[in-house]
């Protein structure tokens, strides 16, 4: 048994080798046969590969050109649509302006027929008074107004950034006589105000521009003006002379200016006499007008 087992062990590797050799030979024969049957097209395949790559690149270029053309045409269409919209908007705005010119609105703040005609070109019945001849008697056109508007005075009469309501008249002069304001508050005597150093004095609550500040809350920022004017007068012998006299003018203040306990009209000059008493608003201060030589009655001559 042992010998038979040894023989079997010796024979089995050899048999395995033979089988492996036969398998390898059969495989090699099969490869040779397949190789003989299959033609060698390596050079042809290489040539066709180059041609195919060239065709692919040309197709890619064509696709890129077509996409650029499509994009360009799309942009052109967008620009064309945009131009059409702008044109339509302009035409619509022009038409709206023409309609507005034909149908002007009435003046809501006027009650008179003439004002409504001047404002909107229509009467109470709503009939249009345009140039088509519907109204046989059209209203006369407004003529240019070359009157003083006050804008130039605002530009030239500004002091410290504030527009002054008052402009001095051409006859403004500096006096020779030394006028003064003696100020009284009840039984109390306040400092004297000298009035001979300039031709006009602005009185008001705004200390930035007022020559004589008035601090009472009932007074306006620009309340009144004390003004010297060169005026004509008739002498005893009948001749005409000229003298400088003091005047007071109220600048449309809220609570008014009082001369000898009588309220004066705004925007009007009032000549002052010696010992006149002036009050502003509801202030209790009294301004008594005197001069250095109150006993002397001679007038200022120019």
Q: How confident is the model at residue 131 (pLDDT cuts 50, 70, 90)?
A: very low
User: Token digits for 103?
Assistant: 């149908």
pLDDT for residue 263 is more than 90: yes
Say how many C-beta atoms besides its own lie within 10 A of residue 250's C-beta. Answer: 23
Q: What pLDDT sits at residue 120?
A: 47
* Gap between the Cα atoms of 226 and 168, Å rounded: 10
Q: What pLDDT sits at residue 267?
A: 92
Q: What pLDDT sits at residue 225?
A: 94
pLDDT for residue 88 is more than 60: yes
Which among 283, 248, 282 has a CA at the least distance from the CA of 267?
248
104 vs 250, more confident = 250
Q: How confident is the model at residue 148 (pLDDT cuts 50, 70, 90)?
A: very low
96 vs 248, more confident = 248
Q: What pLDDT sits at residue 236?
A: 86
The average pLDDT across 41-61 equals: 54
* Gap between the Cα atoms of 297 and 302, Å rounded: 16
Q: Which of 90-104, 106-120, 143-157 has the lowest mean pLDDT?
A: 106-120
* Gap between the Cα atoms of 76 and 79, Å rounded: 5
Beta bridge partner(s), residue 233: 241
Question: Do 185 and 287 meet the contact criterion of CB atoms below 8 Å apart?
Answer: no
Percent of the chain with pLDDT over 90: 35
Q: How confident is the model at residue 138 (pLDDT cuts 50, 70, 90)?
A: low
Q: What pLDDT sits at residue 105?
A: 55
139 vs 107, more confident = 139
pLDDT digits (tens, 9 = 90+) for 151-205: 545 556 787 888 888 889 999 999 999 999 999 998 899 999 999 999 999 999 9
The average pLDDT across 95-102 equals: 78
pLDDT for residue 79 is more than 50: yes
């Amino acid at each position: 048994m042992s010998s038979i087992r040894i023989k079997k062990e010796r024979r089995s590797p050899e048999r395995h080798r033979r089988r492996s050799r036969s398998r390898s030979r059969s495989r090699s024969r099969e490869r040779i046969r397949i190789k003989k049957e299959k033609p060698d097209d390596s050079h042809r395949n290489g040539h066709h590969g180059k041609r195919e790559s060239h065709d692919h690149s040309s197709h890619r270029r064509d696709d890129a050109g077509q996409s650029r053309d499509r994009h360009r045409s799309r942009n052109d269409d967008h620009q064309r649509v945009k131009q059409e919209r702008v044109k339509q908007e302009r035409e619509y705005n022009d038409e709206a302006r023409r309609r507005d010119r034909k149908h002007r609105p009435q003046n809501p703040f006027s009650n008179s027929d003439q004002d409504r005609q001047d404002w909107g070109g229509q009467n109470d019945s709503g009939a249009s008074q345009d140039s088509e001849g519907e109204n046989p008697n059209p209203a006369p056109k407004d003529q240019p107004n070359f009157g003083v508007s006050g804008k130039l005075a605002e530009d030239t009469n500004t002091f410290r950034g504030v527009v002054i309501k008052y402009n001095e008249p051409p006859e403004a002069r500096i006096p020779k006589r030394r006028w003064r304001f003696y100020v009284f508050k009840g039984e109390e005597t306040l400092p004297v105000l000298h009035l001979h150093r300039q031709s006009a004095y602005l009185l008001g609550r705004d200390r930035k521009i007022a020559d004589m500040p008035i601090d009472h809350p009932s007074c306006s920022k620009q309340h009144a003006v004390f003004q010297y004017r060169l005026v004509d007068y008739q002498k005893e012998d009948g001749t005409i002379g000229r003298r400088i006299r003091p005047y007071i003018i109220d600048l449309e203040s809220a609570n008014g200016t009082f001369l000898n306990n009588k309220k004066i009209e705004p925007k009007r000059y009032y000549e002052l006499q010696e010992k006149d008493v002036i009050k502003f608003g509801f202030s209790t201060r009294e301004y008594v007008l005197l001069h250095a030589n109150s006993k002397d009655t001679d007038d200022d001559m120019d």
